[in-house]
Amino acid sequence: MLTNKYKIMIMTASVGCGHDQAAKVIKKHLLDKHDNLDIEIIDFIDIFPSTIGSLIKATYLKMIDMVPSWYNLLYQGTMRLNQQSKVSSIFAHKYKKKVATLIEASNPDMILFTNPFPSTLVSHLKRKNKINTYTASIITDYTAHSVWLDSTIDSYFVGSNILKQEMIDRGIEGSKIRVTGIPIEGKFNTPVNREEKMIELGLELDIPTVLIMGGGLGLGSIEEVLKTTDKINKPLQLIVVAGKNQYLKEELENRVYNLKHNVKILGFCDNVHELMECSHLLVSKAGGLTMTEAVTKELPVLVFDPIPGQEVKNAQYFSDIGAAMYLKDLNELRDAIEELLYESPQKREKMVKCCSVIRKPHAAEDVSKFIFKKIDNRASKKTPMIK
């Protein structure tokens, strides 16, 4: 039982939704478990002037949506950076003094990272003996780019044993790495009344249902996927989540009347766990949290159009272990849906069983337990912050 007031800083970056979501999940779980914690979430993007922060996010989104090959070049080209060159390779490194001031003012007992870029700067400060705060990274994908990896990070929480071994092979001490799974909201491990939800959505109980998602930002080729599924000449109904992309949602709503299947178009949703419960397959990109949520709900995934780099690695991982199929084009998508829902449904059942074996629904709890223990031990013998 924690008896003192302890402070935790969670550093993320609001590019995409997964990093932010992981930060919020951990904060909520920690506070639900104990009321003697002061937890602050810091958005790394906010340390920049607003114009630069907006430019960073806009550039990232445009790159992955319009010229993903450029992002892939950037991702692959920086994969093997060493600890010293990582900081110099990120144009934001001149803001490390601002980060140091922020940490000094807060004086947290622990810093958690759900995005690699703030961890890079904080690790640089630790290496220069500017701070001595305990640091831990929650890796939100099933692979680790070099910007995640640094010998000064005290603990890592990862999604799989395969990733742990990959990190060990790249120089991280195995004793620092805990295979907890990626933390997601507890509602993904809570039963849902499927029949009630299907009726609420206006869907038939006995017709196969496919959930189509483009991630929290509504990116990807949802429209092309929808056209492909409409070529399937068997009973089918679809739930399409456009995310925060209001333009995409409106465009799809205007065209849904020309489709032969029953299609429900939704925007950004906070009940994805219910939509997954209603569905037999998920067609999606391969964000780390989305894949984790689907596996937790024992929902097989057809990965289409993943972002080069980390999402391709996620797709390959889940495909290799049998919980997903990594599809390279729209023809493969149509064939996969027809095979899994109509021609060989036993293959879908095999994927469901694979999900049930590898799911780690208690990741947030396991991470929190470690943090409780570590922060109590550290705080009892806390030394002043090095300046």
Residue bearing the bigger pLDDT, 274 or 82: 274
**With the C-alpha atoms ordered 71, 72, 73, 74, is the resulting torsion angle positive or negative?**
positive
Percent of the chain predicted with pLDDT > 90: 59
Residue 224 has pLDDT above 70, yes or no: yes
Q: Residue 112 half-sphere exposure, CB side, CA atoms within 13 Å?
A: 29
What is the average pLDDT score of the chain? 88
Q: Which residues pair with 57 in a beta bridge?
A: none
Residue 3 has pLDDT above 70, yes or no: no
pLDDT score of 81:
61
**Top-level class of domain 6-182+362-380:** alpha beta
Is the CB of residue 11 less than 8 Å from the CB of residue 103? no
Is the CB of residue 264 less than 8 Å from the CB of residue 238? yes
Is the CB of residue 269 less than 8 Å from the CB of residue 275? yes
What is the pLDDT averaged over residues 239-267? Answer: 88
pLDDT score of 159:
97
Cα 314 from Cα 294, distance rounded (Å) = 13
Residue 384 has pLDDT above 60, yes or no: no
Give per-residue pLDDT as tens, 335-358. 999 999 999 999 999 999 999 999
Give per-residue pLDDT as tens, 358-370. 999 999 999 999 9
* Domain residue spans of the chain: 6-182+362-380, 188-358
Tokens of 263: 């299609």
Tokens of 32: 């639900």
Beta strand pairing call for 37-43 and 6-12: parallel
Cα 315 from Cα 310, distance rounded (Å) = 9
pLDDT score of 91:
47
Candidate ranges 44-48, 84-88, 281-285, 372-376; pick with highest mean pLDDT? 281-285
Architecture of the domain made up of 188-358: 3-Layer(aba) Sandwich (3.40)
* 6-182+362-380 and 188-358 agree in CATH topology: yes
Give per-residue pLDDT as tens, 298-340. 999 999 888 888 999 999 999 999 999 999 888 899 999 999 9
pLDDT score of 51:
80
pLDDT score of 89:
47
47 band by pLDDT with thresholds 50, 70 and 90: confident
Residue 103 has pLDDT above 90, yes or no: yes
Give per-residue pLDDT as tens, 130-179. 899 999 999 999 998 888 999 999 999 999 999 999 999 999 999 999 99
